[in-house]
Amino acid sequence: MSFEAITNAIKELEEEKVLKLVKEQLDKGEDPIKILDACRKGMTEIGNSSGDTVFLTDLIMAGEIFNEVMEILLPKLVKDSTKSLGKVVIGTVEGDIHNIGKDITINFLKAEGFNVIDLGVDVPPQKFVDAIKEHNPPVVGMSGLLTLSIEPMKKAVEAITSANLRDKVKVIIGGERTDQGVCDYVGADAWVNDAIDGVKIIKKWVGGA
């Protein structure tokens, strides 16, 4: 019942209530993994309502609450006690310094249990290549708010292809100005205008959802 209360409080974006309930459960000696799962459930349900009754500001607030919960839970979680769904390398492409879409995607990927390697903003093609070599992720996400990020997305995909890594990763591009034409032009596997749709596609690819 109390876990359900945490899930519901997350869904309702009741920041103070969530933090209070999480602390109460910890004090009662509840398993932090169960608390985390309750939070994740709330995040998944928020994601499922995205675009319908949930809007981007709600997603940012949800991400903030989830990060606050993680700050409380992380010291209590035994290392590697939670199973990772897989790795995702993600970054905003070269020349673009906008982080909003990328960060929402990251928060919700983490909430789903992905291990996210955040390359930051203004990421040159070679940095994507290096990160793939180092982390061997099944998925690479490229974000970009502006029209000017289309060419750099194309260059980053080309660099991955030249390094003979293209068949090892799925590439998803995200941003307000992307569409199927841009996806084909860039040479990506999927495109999204919406962060939560991106999380869903990535889950389908590697999370078995």
Partner 1 sequence: MDNAEEIYNAKLERLEVAAAAKEPDRVPIGINTTYFPAKYAGVSYEDMFHDNNKYIEVMAKFARDFNWDGYNSLRSFESVPLGLALAGYDPDLAIGVAVSSVLAGGASHDILADVYSSNPGRELGKNVESQFVMEKPVMNNDEYDNLIKQPFEFLMKTVIPRAYKNLADLDSPKGVGTLLKMGQELAKFPAFFGEFLGKMKQEAWLPWYLALTPNPLDFIGAWLRDFDTLTLDLYRMPEKVKAACEALTGVLAAVGKLTGAISKSATGSRRVFCPTWYNTYLSPEQYREFHFPYIKRIVNELVEADFTPLLCFQGRMDHLLDTLTELPEGKVILWFDKTDLSKVREVVGDKYCIAGGILSSLLISGTPQQVKDHMKETINKYKPGGGYIVTTEFNGMGDAKIENVKAMTEAVMEYGKY
Let me know the angle formed at the C-alpha of 197 by 195 and 198, rounded to the nearest 5 degrees: 65
What residues are paired with 92 via a beta bridge? 143
**Backbone torsion region of residue 128, taken as left when φ is above 0, otherwise alpha when ψ lies between -120 and 50, otherwise beta:** alpha
Size of the site for partner 1 (CB under 8 A): 30
> C-beta of 155: minimal distance to partner 1 in Å?
12
Closer CB to partner 1, 61 or 209, in the complex: 61
Q: Is 151 in the site for partner 1 (CB under 8 A)?
A: yes
Closer CB to partner 1, 96 or 118, in the complex: 96
Q: Is 153 in the site for partner 1 (CB under 8 A)?
A: no
Q: Is 148 in the site for partner 1 (CB under 8 A)?
A: yes
> C-beta of 48: minimal distance to partner 1 in Å?
16
Structure tokens at 108: 């919700």
Q: Which of residues 104-143 bind partner 1 (CB under 8 A)?
A: none
**Which residues lie below 8 Å from residue 159, measured CB to CB, with a gap of 6+?**
125, 126, 128, 129
Q: Is 67 in the site for partner 1 (CB under 8 A)?
A: no
- Binding residues (CB under 8 A) for partner 1: these are 13, 15, 55-58, 60-61, 64, 95-100, 103, 146-148, 150-151, 176-179, 181-182, 184-185, 193
